[in-house]
Amino acid sequence: MNSTVQKTIYANVLLAYPLDQEFTYCFNEDQPIKIGSIAEVSFRNKNYLGVVISISNQTPIKNKKIKSIQKISNYFLSKKNIKFLEWVSSYNLIPRGLVLRMILPKSEGYFIKDDDSKNSQDLLSPKYLKLNETQSKARAKIERIFLQNDYSTILLDGMPGSGKTEVYFDLIAKNISSKKQSLILFPEVSLTNEFIKRVEERFGCAPDIWHSKITPTKKRKIIKRVISGKSQILIGARSALFLPFKNLGLLIVDEEHDSSYKQEEKGIYNARDMAVVRASIEKFLIILVSATPSLETLYNINQKKYTHIKLENKFSHTPEPKIKIINMKNVKLKKNNWVSEDLKKTMELKLAKKEQSLLFINKRGFAPMIICKSCGHKFTCKNCSSYLVEHLKDNKLLCHHCGYKLNSFKMKCPSCGNTDDSFIDYGAGIEKIYNEISRELPSAKICLFSSDHIQSNEDLSKKVEQIYNNEFDIIIGTQLITKGYHFPHLTLVGVIDADMTLKGGDLRAAEKTYQMLYQVAGRSGRGDIPGDVYLQSYFPENETIQDLQKMDRDNFYVKELNIRKKANLPPVAKMAAIIVSGRNLNEVHESCLNLSRSSPNIDNVDIYGPAPAPLSRLKGRHRQRFLIHEKKGRKIQKIIQHWLSKVPQTSGVNITIDIDPQNFT
């Protein structure tokens, strides 16, 4: 009896685990495996997904017992997928295994047989809304650019209401007809049911949705559809960028300026920038969309790396809103009042005309700080170096960083023991403004619009529909309200403390403030009636506030970029942060001392720190930060890698690297 002896082959497998190292596993030569194959393997007595990086007939030199690959999927990562993985790891100094975990979220979907009956997606493409002349020209120009290049990054720029979405919808329709997949990225808070309905109405079928709150069962189904090519339109938050699409042909990054594209923990990266990299590696069109582009994107346009296409006018013929600055230095407010009489009188007029008003304040809760009247103690989080915010809705003092809570009915000062309700609520949040307006305009129907008062996507959709249908007279909202909503009856926007975010040491403070206020101003006058915007400011002479009043966006950007150039600040130069954290403060200090002793001495490279991080304590961990400022635009990663290689690792202390940091406050 003849028996065929199967030959053992060896594969180096990168695990979806936060390590750079590959591990060797064996398999039989008749198993369908190749470089890029997705496999399931055992590691440290647990099963993990991995990807085959290399294959060899040679027995490994070390004579160790080599485990077998347990499962091999029919699906695999392409060479371009793996190249993207390597690039993201190298640029952001993230372990390759952590990037792979983003690409292959834990799922059984890779090993389940196809069920074609439920996976087909017959998308339709009717001209749901006819493009105007400006939109048609923009779409035609984008198509010409892409026909001439196998890859392009294009900024689609236009004021709120200019019809940017319809332009890229037309491009998605063309991409579908070419049998390719389309991905639309959104900041997670902007992923609304309203937008999903627009896509469904435009294309005749529901798109796939990907974000942090979808269930594991849904994730399994979506991953199968993505990797098999059956998902033709996927709308997702930043993590959707890493999904292993079979044939991605178009990538849209909407609200590209939004800072929530930056992931700040568990592998720090900017999804907008990594999206551009993926498009350049895999050779497809990427469109960055914004009414207030990031300075980085505009700098790349100046450097001829990106193409700028601008929609000059609003889709409707309503003129831009008129902006009035209220100088709060000259305003005497009554006790417990934050809204000026000028703004209140205008709200009364709008109320009489059945038009809506929006009051915007970028502070959640009732009051951002509670102080003991007896001793002056400020209530802070036990886990973080941040003030507890008072929330009347839940009768709680809440930390917005870790979720720590105190019952505001049973408060006791930890410093002097005071319990007699002698506590001052300092400053104003959205709930305090609500109380004031409810007192002053009792007949008005008022809606609170913040993440604390909206519990789900369904709740969000219901509130948006009610506002759209004019069921509320006044909306009081935080930054959540700035995210592209179209409310045709809203004709007045009032901004409380417009210069709040200009304070502090954030190099991007002016840019972020201008973007936020420009976006919120754009909510006013989107229907047939012209809108008004009132900015309450204690620093009305500030250039950012002045530029906003003139709606002179381009002038603001030119001035801001010149300031950055003169100071050799991003995007002209490079910056990176090294965050040293641990539960033991002495161990953190010791690690910082070791880093300081080994810090590089290179021309045009400044090292600042160590200094306490913006949050010197977060979720129970002490945090110190170094800031590296490389003024010549050289590769900052090599400097950091060489520096860290000379410093011994300390158990219990984490060293995290943030390339191109967004937050400096």
595 shares its domain with 521:
no
Give residue 615's pLDDT: 86
DSSP 547: H
Together in a domain, 301 and 342: no
Q: Which domain holds residue 47?
A: 8-106
Q: Among 41, 73, 106, which residue terminates a domain?
A: 106
The mean pLDDT value of the chain amounts to: 89
Q: Are residues 472 and 586 in the same domain?
A: no
Select from 72, 66, 9 the least CA-distant residue to 39.
72
CB 617 within 8 A of CB 580: no
539-560: pLDDT as tens digits: 999 999 999 998 889 999 999 9
Q: What is the pLDDT of residues 360-374, one digit of tens each?
A: 998 999 999 999 988
Which of 495, 527, 562 marks a domain boundary? 562
Helix (H, G, I), strand (E, B) or coil at 612: strand
Q: Do 499 and 520 share a domain, yes or no?
A: yes
Work out how many domains the chain is built from and give that number: 4
* 14-18, 129-133, 293-297, 585-589: least confident range: 129-133
394-451 pLDDT, tens digit each: 889 999 889 899 888 778 898 888 887 788 898 899 999 999 999 999 999 999 999 8
- pLDDT (tens digit, 9 = 90+) per residue, 91-104? 999 999 999 999 99
The answer to whether 615 touches 652, Cβ cutoff 8 Å, is no
- Residue 276 inside a domain? The answer is yes
The answer to the question of residue 349 being in a domain is yes
* Same-domain check for residues 353 and 223: no
Cα(357)–Cα(524) distance, rounded to whole angstroms? Answer: 8
572: closest CA among 269, 259, 295? 295
Clarify whether residues 590 and 476 are in a common domain. Answer: no
Cα atoms found within 13 Å of the Cα of residue 11, Cβ hemisphere only: 28
Same domain? For 551 and 581 the reply is no
One domain for residues 161 and 292: yes
pLDDT in tens, 288-302: 999 999 999 999 999
Residues 300 and 327 in one domain: no
Looking at the domain assignment, is residue 380 inside a domain?
Answer: no
Average pLDDT over residues 592-607: 93
Does the pLDDT value for residue 665 go beyond 60? no
Q: What is the pTM of this model?
A: 0.92
- CATH number, domain of 165, equals 3.40.50.300
User: Is residue 417 in some structural domain?
Assistant: no
Distance from C-alpha of 496 to C-alpha of 473, rounded to nearest angstrom: 18
Question: Is the predicted pLDDT of residue 522 greater than 90, yes or no?
Answer: no
Same domain for 244 and 98, yes or no, is no
